[in-house]
Chain A
Amino acid sequence: MPTTTGTKPPSTLGQKSFQWLDDRFHIKALVDYMSDKSVPRHGRSIWYYFGGISLFLFIVQVVTGILLLMYYRPGADSAYESVRFIVSEVSFGWLIRALHSWSANLMIFAVFIHMFSVYFEYSYRKPRELTWVSGIVLFGLALTFGFSGYLLPWNELAFFATRVGTGMAGAVPVIGENLLVIMRGGEEVTGATIGRFFGLHVAILPAIFTVVLTAHLVFIQRQGMSEPIDWTDKPESEKKYIKFFPNFLLRDLLVWLIVLNILAVLAVFLPDGIGLIHWPLGTKADPFAPPPPVIRPEWYFMFAFQALKFLPAHLFGLEGELVGIGAFTLGGLIWALAPFLNTKAHRGKPSTPFTLFGILVLLFMIGMTIAGYILE
């Protein structure tokens, strides 16, 4: 592995190629910039990995998604049959579908960890406000990916979950009814809904996601890794760093490899998922059949689903669901605008109210999720 560059005339093929490119694109400046990058080293460095894990799982989604596209045929008469064909006839089709499903769930999970760790570390404080906001947008897109992808196999489970999920949009004031018709592509969940969700899932969302993700990553490259808030008044001599290139990058890759192996083991041994994270193909959706006894959203929607169920029919003289949606909107806004509201963090000081709000949100989510599964 030759690593020398510089004064000697280029000898190996690698050096020659580098020279060729450098003459044209001035890569040397880029390499110098990269070699200056470093990552703060402290007791909570582990949280730096979860953004990268989310990114890796997204890449897995893109690759396995493209492979599924080769056989998947949207439509009420063909969607279920084509997925059944993939898992039963195509070589390793079961594996590709299992990887796509597992990776989707693990990605949402990694994104949750990533988001909460950034929140509790106040990493969103100046100058990283827009990195946080773009992250929130990516989070919303990831959830939409999950919701739209769930319907595509057109099985019983997906059909009823989508009917309930889109039905909630009907509770939105003023535009609810129109929103519902737009989402479903009609009054009911039909083949037209598959068409919409398919277009969203394989074209619209990937395009938007790629643009926002690029921005998110460019911001991170420009600003480097966030230092812990308690380093604000630390003398430089006491701050420890690890070089990004190659040290941290190699650790990142090692983590990716470990995640890939976890993914492979899960997909091979539990291709249909397990317990509450479960996606058996089951029977084909029949709009006229009675719904199965248990209609459940995916685990990451469970907290919202359950919270709306807890609300009484009327609250403060308004419809209960309306109050719920209003409260969620308000909470989401505070969450998304935390970098602009938390002025104390900008001055390099931890802010107890914001930490408490974060803990409250986390406990609410976990509590409602558990309640949702217990009270079925």
Chain B
Amino acid sequence: MAEQKSRRDFLNLLLGGGTLATLGAILYPTIKYITPPASGEANVTQLKLAFKRSDIEADPKKAKTFKFGRDLGIILITDTGELRALAARCTHLDCTVQNRPDLGILWCACHNGRYDYSGRNISGPPPRPLEQFAVNVVGEDIFVSREKA
């Protein structure tokens, strides 16, 4: 009897193991499949903007947003006429920040978060500063690049 029982146990182990292996073989590719492949534009470190300084000046808020790889950036002209480019997604809950030339800050309308033009979070809920991008002007073209590539 004892021997028979152990044989049954062994068969159950085999059956259970086989079932688990089969489920694993089905689930693994399925989960890998529904995880989307990384998009090709993930590692953009430098970008030539599609607009010129005059376009930014023409904007009532003296700023324009642009796609920077998978991120969103904002480029603005300070009251001293300097070009500054920063990440445009608020570090609080991912809303898009906007320039407030009247206050001299970047402002997030969702929860009244505020950043200075260096990206420092100076008031409201944002937990972290905004990443600042380097700006280089070559003739008419504006190049934006990540400082730490």
- Which of A89-97, A120-128, A132-140 is the interface stretch? A89-97
B25 neighbours in A (Cβ, 8 Å): 264
Instruction: Decide yes or no whether A242 CB sits under 8 A from chain B.
Output: no
Instruction: Decide yes or no whether B5 CB sits under 8 A from chain A.
Output: no
CB-contact partner of B29 in A1, A89, A92, under 8 A: A92
Residues of chain B touching chain A, judged by Cβ–Cβ distance below 8 Å, are 12, 22, 25, 29-30, 32-37
Bound form: Cα–Cα A89–B29 in Å: 14
* Residues A163-220 near B (CB distance < 8 A): none
Minimal beta-carbon separation of A29 from chain B (angstroms): 29
Task: Decide if B37 touches A67 in the complex (CB within 8 Å).
Answer: no
Interface string of A59-76 (1 = CB under 8 A from B): 000000001001000000
Please give me the residue from chain A that is nearest to B19 by CB atom: A257
| Given A95-B33, A96-B29, 7 more pairs with CB closer than 8 A | A70-B33, A70-B34, A90-B36, A91-B29, A91-B33, A91-B37, A264-B25
B30 neighbours in A (Cβ, 8 Å): 67, 92
Task: Decide if B22 touches A90 in the complex (CB within 8 Å).
Answer: no
Task: Decide if B34 touches A67 in the complex (CB within 8 Å).
Answer: yes
B29 neighbours in A (Cβ, 8 Å): 91-92, 95-96
Q: Which of A1, A70, A91, A264 has the most CB of B within 10 A?
A: A91
Leading 7 A-B pairs by shortest Cβ distance: A92-B29, A91-B32, A92-B33, A89-B37, A92-B32, A90-B37, A96-B33
CB-contact partner of A257 in B12, B22, B32, B34, under 8 A: B22
Bound form: Cα–Cα A67–B33 in Å: 8
Minimal beta-carbon separation of B122 from chain A (angstroms): 42
Q: Which of B12, B22, B29 has the most CB of A within 10 A?
A: B29
Counted as pairs of residues, one from A and one from B, with CB atoms less than 8 Å apart, the total is: 27
Task: Decide if A91 touches B22 in the complex (CB within 8 Å).
Answer: no
Bound form: Cα–Cα A312–B33 in Å: 51
Bound form: Cα–Cα A95–B36 in Å: 15
Q: Which of B22, B33, B37 has the most CB of A within 10 A?
A: B33
Prevailing SS type, chain B contact patch: helix
What are 27 A-B pairs at a CB distance below 8 A?
A1-B12, A67-B30, A67-B33, A67-B34, A70-B33, A70-B34, A89-B37, A90-B33, A90-B36, A90-B37, A91-B29, A91-B32, A91-B33, A91-B35, A91-B37, A92-B29, A92-B30, A92-B32, A92-B33, A93-B33, A95-B29, A95-B33, A96-B29, A96-B33, A257-B22, A260-B22, A264-B25
A92 neighbours in B (Cβ, 8 Å): 29-30, 32-33
A264 neighbours in B (Cβ, 8 Å): 25
Please give me the residue from chain B that is nearest to A63 by CB atom: B30
* Residues A275-300 near B (CB distance < 8 A): none
* Residues A344-373 near B (CB distance < 8 A): none
Minimal beta-carbon separation of B12 from chain A (angstroms): 8
Bound form: Cα–Cα A262–B19 in Å: 17
Minimal beta-carbon separation of B147 from chain A (angstroms): 31
Bound form: Cα–Cα A67–B25 in Å: 16
B32 neighbours in A (Cβ, 8 Å): 91-92
Please give me the residue from chain A that is nearest to B40 by CB atom: A89
Bound form: Cα–Cα A90–B12 in Å: 37
Please give me the residue from chain B that is nearest to A264 by CB atom: B25
Bound form: Cα–Cα A89–B32 in Å: 12
Minimal beta-carbon separation of A197 from chain B (angstroms): 24
Bound form: Cα–Cα A264–B26 in Å: 10
Bound form: Cα–Cα A92–B25 in Å: 12
B12 neighbours in A (Cβ, 8 Å): 1
Bound form: Cα–Cα A1–B11 in Å: 12
Please give me the residue from chain B that is nearest to A85 by CB atom: B37
Bound form: Cα–Cα A100–B82 in Å: 58
A95 neighbours in B (Cβ, 8 Å): 29, 33
Please give me the residue from chain A that is nearest to B32 by CB atom: A91
Bound form: Cα–Cα A62–B25 in Å: 18
Q: Which of B12, B30, B35 has the most CB of A within 10 A?
A: B30
A91 neighbours in B (Cβ, 8 Å): 29, 32-33, 35, 37
* Residues A1-35 near B (CB distance < 8 A): 1
Minimal beta-carbon separation of A299 from chain B (angstroms): 28
Interface string of A87-123 (1 = CB under 8 A from B): 0011111011000000000000000000000000000
A96 neighbours in B (Cβ, 8 Å): 29, 33
B33 neighbours in A (Cβ, 8 Å): 67, 70, 90-93, 95-96
Bound form: Cα–Cα A64–B30 in Å: 9
A93 neighbours in B (Cβ, 8 Å): 33
